[in-house]
Copies of this chain bind each other. A is one copy, B any other.
Amino acid sequence: MSVPAFHPPVRTLMGPGPSDVNPRILEAMSRPTIGHLDPLFVHMMDEVKGLLKYAFQTENAMTMPVSAPGSAGMECCFVNLVEPGDKVIVCQNGVFGGRMKENVERAGGTAVMVQDPWGSPVDPQKLEEALIANPDAKIVAFVHAETSTGAQSDARTLVEIAHKNECLTIVDAVTSLAGSPLKVDEWGIDAIYSGTQKCLSCTPGLSPVSFSEAALEKVRKRKSKVQSWFLDLNLVMAYWGGGTKRAYHHTAPVNALYGLHEALRIVQEEGLENAWARHQRNHLALRAGLEAMGIEFVVEESARLPQLNAVRIPEGANDAATRSRLLNDFNLEIGAGLGDLAGKIWRIGLMGYASRAENILLCLAALEAVLADQGAKISRGEAIAAASQLLAD
């Protein structure tokens, strides 16, 4: 067996992630590897922590990237905060709430599920009722930005309700970080995890996390050891901690961290507020184009994520064939539906570096071409004008 070199095509990544990676980040990742205990690398790690605090809008000392994808960041939050026997209220309105339930149970906790329809935000009232019915609950967990549906929940209100009932909060911000407003300290979030491959526009593989002092206090007071050695905050913190002497824990993914460092510098250069505004502006342009074609959104307007546009597959369109042709003919990736929404929706990402005017026009033009060719029920010839008018504003 002789395996040729892998030279990927240049795709435009407008699915639910990974999103288009800024070329500056790819260049940064290809810089020479140095030792993970090299003083220069340790200094860079400190800068990554500082930049992450800005991105999360937090002063939490325990803010750092877990050396593994977002799923591991989720697990890091749950295995550290949930002790055997703990009751956790999990608000589910999509795929990732279900994964939270798995995490609670595997950590020995009991999950009380609060269900909302997929595509709707979490209903604060239902959370309040669940907390009244379960006064012994210790933690409330929810997804800020549901990647499976494109719905955004009101994190500030949900945290407020949780705190009124003396619960800590675990928040999934995989898709929201740097794409739409997220204020960890102002909203009082206790534990949060994200991913690098969404609105940070970095390559996938790392999971930024942040923990409040109250969350760390619960970790410190645990009666049992954290079940994961790799994700044990007590150990990870001694490695990522601010001290001059780092305790060796694992070998950090050096080059991936070069990439994250550059991605976070780009966020800082643009400014978070500007990035949020750009995502919103581009979302409105894409929306105008899609609606001009007659394509409908899944999520009601007030809860739509600007960075992840979930739309109903129009009548007469073939789901898989459409995505294949977009990929093969135009190198354009959009996302399929997940779980209950598979075959019913597409997820069009406008995340980070992918949230650009040229991507919007390409997506609308390619979608119109492919759908028209299939004889799907859409309006033709209006989308580009509708979108470009908003882009010009």
Contact = CB atoms under 8 A, between A and B. Distances in A.
A38 interface: yes
Contacts of A28: 5-6
A226 B30 contact: no
Interface stretch (A64-72, A115-123, A136-144, A301-309): A64-72
A285 interface: no
Contacts of A327: 38-39
A135 interface: no
Which interface class (under 10, 10 to 19, 20 to 34, 35 or more) fits A?
35 or more
B36 A11 contact: no
Interface string A1-20: 11101111111010101101
Interface stretch (A248-256, A367-375, A381-389): A248-256
Contact of A106 (B75, B225, B250): B225
Interface stretch (A211-219, A260-268, A356-364): A260-268
Contact of A103 (B8, B229, B261): B229
Interface SS of A by simple majority? loop
A97 interface: no
A118 B203 CA distance: 40
B11 A21 contact: no
Contacts of A38: 8, 11, 327, 333
A230 interface: yes
Nearest to A30: B30
A21 B10 CA distance: 25
Interface string A219-253: 00000011111100000000000000000111111
A240 to B, nearest CB: 14
Contacts of A338: 248
Interface string A54-76: 10000000000001111110110
Interface stretch (A43-51, A124-132, A181-189): A43-51
A18 B251 CA distance: 8
Contacts of A205: 67, 205, 253-256
Nearest to A47: B3
Contacts of A106: 225-229
Contact of A1 (B35, B50, B195): B50
16 contacts: A3-B261, A6-B262, A29-B255, A34-B333, A39-B327, A67-B205, A69-B252, A71-B230, A71-B249, A75-B228, A102-B229, A203-B256, A205-B205, A205-B256, A227-B227, A248-B338
Given A8-B40, A71-B229, 16 more contacts: A3-B261, A3-B265, A6-B44, A8-B33, A18-B33, A26-B32, A26-B33, A27-B30, A67-B205, A68-B68, A72-B250, A106-B229, A203-B256, A204-B251, A204-B252, A256-B256
